[in-house]
Structure 1
Amino acid sequence: MASSAVSKQSHCHSLVILAALALFCAAKICLAEKFKPQSESGDDFIKTSCGVTRYPDLCYKTLSAYADTIQDNPTQLANASLSETLKNAESTLNMMQKLLQMRELRPREAGAIKDCVETMKESVDELQKSMLAMRDLEGPDFRMEMSNIQTWVSAALPDEDTCMDGFQGKAINGNVKDTIRIYIVKGSQLTSIALALINRIQ
């Protein structure tokens, strides 16, 4: 009987030790989880990165939908920004081509829109080349590819600004001019954002 009691007491003691160890390990894991450095969420990363651009609100509004894809990757962020910039440029070009089909356009208005269409085609081309280059940034040609991308996107920025040059003066329909200006201003801002984010890629 005494031996059995000792055995039971020893068994209970072992269970207490195991339970204590389990609790200790669990507490240690919880503490480790609590105090380990947390990686920046995609949304926070986008907000922080957009803060370095000239248009942080437009930047965040445009790119926040890509948070799950971007995570905290500067290349993914720049790629998403460039993609949105290209979409806007293509939309602007399409809108201007439709304006050219308006029968009530005066010769000067049609001429100004044609010039702007050609300018936008160049911008779209520069942005498309940049998008293709962004897909292949790995390897020994990284610096050269980055330089090309920066050059192309920089070229797209002033090209969009010059679209408004042909719309100066009272002879131009105000509604046509205002419609084009809205598209051009947003396109210029998106291009500026994309360039700022591209410049942050290391």
Structure 2
Amino acid sequence: MAALLYKQIFQAFLVTLTLTSSINPAWAARVVIGARNVEFIRVSCQATTYPNLCYTSLSSHASDIRADSQLLAHTALTLTLQTAESTSAVMVKMGKSQGLSHREVGAMRDCVEELRDSVSEIRKSLVEMKQLKGSDFDLKVNDIQTWVSAALTDEDTCTEGFAVNGNVKAAVREAIVNVAHMTSNALALINAFAALHN
């Protein structure tokens, strides 16, 4: 139902734009292309586990992504890397907080290590995304999928060492959840891109 409503609104927008395009055809063409790019992102994000987060994080990059599935996946990975790096920095600061128990300090240290691994795996994926050409396309995509899956596992593992109902675990979980959702969405977009080439 929501998809139908979006489509109708988009079509009404295009009709209105067509009627006003005689005022400035070049401007109207740019707006139509921009609207198509944003719509491409919205539709693509429907295949992810967290479509609202996907759309809000990627829609401002529509002019760079255009309607290119590879650029969409690459941009999603880039934003995920930035989020993972900033989350890792937050975890390092939290680990230096006063009042942590011995167990919480150890769990925080483990969490920071898991996030470092996640950042490394996402970086490797980004490097490989830039080299997706040639006869070894499937092998490279498989490597990317494996690394991003491992990054997601690392992020999910981050909260395991904390006490079940502790305040520190809740704070860590809150910080980790966004990067885990971003990683999950990036993986879904990579999988969708890979499926186009099978």
TM-score in same-fold range (> 0.5) = yes
**Aligned residue number for residue 109 of structure 2:** 114
Distance, in Å, in 1 between the alignment partners of 2:178 and 2:125 is 19
Q: Which runs of 5+ in 1 are unaligned?
A: 1-37
Q: Cα distance, 1:86 vs. partner?
A: 0.8
**Given the two structures, how large is their TM-score scaled by the length of structure 2?**
0.78
Secondary structure, aligned partner of 1:166: coil
Counterparts of 1:1-202 in structure 2, within 5 Å, are 41-170=36-165, 172=166, 174=167, 176-201=168-193, 202=197
Distance, in Å, in 1 between the alignment partners of 2:66 and 2:36 is 6
Deviation digits for residues 7-44 of structure 1, max 9, x if unmatched?
A: xxxxxxxxxxxxxxxxxxxxxxxxxxxxxxx9781100
Distance, in Å, in 1 between the alignment partners of 2:97 and 2:147 is 32
**Aligned residue number for residue 7 of structure 1:** none
Q: Cα distance, 1:82 vs. partner?
A: 0.5
Q: 1:178 is aligned with what amino acid?
A: A
Q: Cα distance, 1:103 vs. partner?
A: 2.8
Secondary structure, aligned partner of 1:164: coil
Q: 2:173 is aligned with what amino acid?
A: R
Q: Cα distance, 1:168 vs. partner?
A: 2.6
Secondary structure, aligned partner of 1:167: coil
Deviation digits for residues 70-113 of structure 1, max 9, x if unmatched?
A: 11100000001001111111111111111122232221110110
Distance, in Å, in 1 between the alignment partners of 2:98 and 2:42 is 45
Distance, in Å, in 2 between the alignment partners of 1:169 and 1:69 is 43
Distance, in Å, in 2 between the alignment partners of 1:72 and 1:141 is 24
Name segments (4+ residues, structure 1) moved above 2 Å.
176-179
When Rg is computed on C-alpha atoms for both structures, the one with the higher figure is 1
Question: Aligned-pair RMSD on alpha carbons?
Answer: 1.9
Q: Cα distance, 1:116 vs. partner?
A: 0.5
Distance, in Å, in 2 between the alignment partners of 1:109 and 1:60 is 35
Count the aligned residue pairs: 164
